[in-house]
A and B are shown apart, each in its own frame.
Chain A
């Protein structure tokens, strides 16, 4: 029983971070329809950002969030402006060809990022050591301080995103675009701005998730591939474009992973997840947490 509770708690704590970077992906996909194959590598980039700031300036990842967030936002803006926009501006290209182009271009960005990291940091795992080292025991269940704090930060950032989407002008424009893009552009919302902002914000959330994840999760240049699939699993389970769904599904994915790891085998923790993913896709493509019918 304690094992089960321990498993669930671990799953939820890591799941909060999955939820955060997945809400970044779902924001990007829901609005720009771009399949961002480099998404996992933006998590890794955030993690290395934390590692670098800690190693060189002694900056705790909790403060590092701010520079990492700003940089991620800028990188997101550049990737959108230089790469994604390009596929849409080619003369006579069909929507499908443009989307395939984005797929392969972001895939190339993924290879680029992971190997730049390999060049500069080498292949061995890096981590931010010794920040938030405490371990709490609650009724026989152990909770690491780093995991708990990371989870709380993820939750707060997610709530801020949610409030921003509800309250700010950009947030309203973004939601209007998700609901009905033609209508949105008819009422004078500039889709290009909305796309650029949501792409950048999506990458920013992802960078933040990576930054706090680095407090307990060692990072290598290839860590991103796993996060990519996790993000897609989460986004699909939550219903594409559904931000709350993505966060909740993140928790679920964390739990599925931990349960498989503890009760089946550690190295198979992703198999259960990926098979669940394919099943969800086939049986309920609109997501398990979404009441709406899938449009794709």
Chain B
């Protein structure tokens, strides 16, 4: 309860307002099933990207392999139902377990790598998962993918006729992921991850068990990604290797956070709110645009945002004509004195739509 109280007071105050607002959207704003679906997917990918933010945003270990955990969540949930006829909720829980175990195993190998090497290794590994899932079709359904059996309205089996329920589940998932990353950020783990990001040698000289901290960070960050995969599976009822482990999902989870602001608590939230609707709008079968157009627009939007501010929207400054405070004396050579004015302001969100599935 004390944690909750603190949450409500600090960033949680804003968080609660946003949560109430988002949860109530279907009651007063979302009128079409298309918009509802866009909103649901936005929240699902927001959750995955919030998870990514723990190891990559706070810890600075840029993963292009969080699709591994997303895909494991989705496939575990699906396979347990299709192959073993188990309850979907068992699949959700086991999906998390499988993802965390693999995070630890893969992390034990890849987290010894620094910087870009870690990114490349995780990217290669997710493509390995995609290829293997396609190859062992007897079990996984191969390239054709897996479709969930139609169960109709069966809340006990994680199946709902009313799609608003999925929206609320996705809202809950994103909210939990947000709270989890917020708690991590305030904790010893978060501080140590940030120190590793800033300077791993200096962190180790201060006694930080860097490898272990990164491993724990990766394991934690796999949980929201796996849950996102499970909820996605139950919601869309279809998965194939490419939409689970492929390069598009792999990079999308990271790009959402980068556009919003990697390492910033609200970064993945803002990134998802801009990018996922962008992806869905032009990608819907309703559109008459040629194939590829959606992703061209998506890429341009990402380019423009990051061209303006490579650190993402959360780092954009509102230009004000206040005089600069006098520079302090003797700043270290090579380091410009940063503008000490408060900055984390969100500028107007661009409203260009796009999508990036199925090219």
Chains A and B in contact, CB within 8 Å: yes
Task: Enumerate chain A residues within 8 angstroms of B338, measured Cβ to Cβ.
Answer: 92
Contact of A278 among B121, B306, B310 (CB under 8 A): B121
Q: How far, in angstroms, from A105 to B309 measured CA to CA in the complex?
A: 11
Contact of A119 among B60, B291, B310 (CB under 8 A): B291
Which of A42-50, A191-199, A263-271 forms part of the interface with chain B? A263-271
The winner among A236, A271, A275 for most chain B CB atoms within 10 A is A271
A227 contacts chain B at the CB level, 8 A cutoff: no
Task: Enumerate chain B residues within 8 angstroms of A232, measured Cβ to Cβ.
Answer: 120, 124
- Whether A112 and B296, one on each chain, are in contact in the complex, defined by CB atoms closer than 8 angstroms, is yes
Contact of B251 among A90, A99, A107, A222 (CB under 8 A): A107
Q: How far, in angstroms, from A35 to B296 measured CA to CA in the complex?
A: 21
- Whether B116 and A35, one on each chain, are in contact in the complex, defined by CB atoms closer than 8 angstroms, is yes
In the complex formed, the residue of B with least CB distance to A267 is: B135
A285 contacts chain B at the CB level, 8 A cutoff: yes
Contact of A267 among B60, B110, B116, B131 (CB under 8 A): B131
A-B contact count (CB 8 A): 147
**Closest CB of chain A to B49's CB: distance in Å?**
13
- Whether A274 and B124, one on each chain, are in contact in the complex, defined by CB atoms closer than 8 angstroms, is yes
Contact of B121 among A101, A112, A118, A277 (CB under 8 A): A277
- Whether B310 and A101, one on each chain, are in contact in the complex, defined by CB atoms closer than 8 angstroms, is yes
Known contacts: A97-B311, A104-B302, A108-B303. The answer to whether A296 contacts B115 by CB under 8 A is yes
In the complex formed, the residue of B with least CB distance to A86 is: B307
Known contacts: A35-B116, A274-B128. The answer to whether A111 contacts B295 by CB under 8 A is yes
Which of B5-13, B145-153, B162-170, B254-262 forms part of the interface with chain A? B254-262
Q: What is the total number of residues of chain B having a CB less than 8 Å from a CB of chain A?
A: 52
- Whether A118 and B291, one on each chain, are in contact in the complex, defined by CB atoms closer than 8 angstroms, is yes
Task: Enumerate chain A residues within 8 angstroms of B292, measured Cβ to Cβ.
Answer: 114-119, 221
B123 contacts chain A at the CB level, 8 A cutoff: yes
Chain B interface main SS type: helix
**Closest CB of chain B to A114's CB: distance in Å?**
7
Task: Enumerate chain B residues within 8 angstroms of A105, measured Cβ to Cβ.
Answer: 302-303, 306-307, 310
- Whether A278 and B296, one on each chain, are in contact in the complex, defined by CB atoms closer than 8 angstroms, is no
B158 contacts chain A at the CB level, 8 A cutoff: no
Interface string of B50-66 (1 = CB under 8 A from A): 00000000001010000
* B273-309 residues at the A interface, CB under 8 angstroms: 290-296, 298-300, 302-303, 306-307, 309
Contact of B293 among A97, A104, A119 (CB under 8 A): A119
- Whether B114 and A296, one on each chain, are in contact in the complex, defined by CB atoms closer than 8 angstroms, is yes
Q: How far, in angstroms, from A270 to B259 measured CA to CA in the complex?
A: 31
- Whether A109 and B359, one on each chain, are in contact in the complex, defined by CB atoms closer than 8 angstroms, is no
- Whether A97 and B117, one on each chain, are in contact in the complex, defined by CB atoms closer than 8 angstroms, is no
Q: How far, in angstroms, from A86 to B308 measured CA to CA in the complex?
A: 9
The winner among A102, A103, A221 for most chain B CB atoms within 10 A is A103
- Whether A96 and B60, one on each chain, are in contact in the complex, defined by CB atoms closer than 8 angstroms, is yes
Q: How far, in angstroms, from A101 to B290 measured CA to CA in the complex?
A: 29
Q: How far, in angstroms, from A225 to B259 measured CA to CA in the complex?
A: 22
- Closest 7 A-B residue pairs measured CB to CB? A101-B310, A118-B292, A112-B299, A115-B295, A115-B292, A111-B299, A119-B292
- Give me the interface of A with B, judged by CB distance under 8 Å: 35, 83, 86-87, 90-93, 96-105, 107-109, 111-112, 114-119, 122-123, 221-222, 225, 229, 232-233, 236, 265, 267-268, 270-271, 274-275, 277-278, 281-282, 285, 296
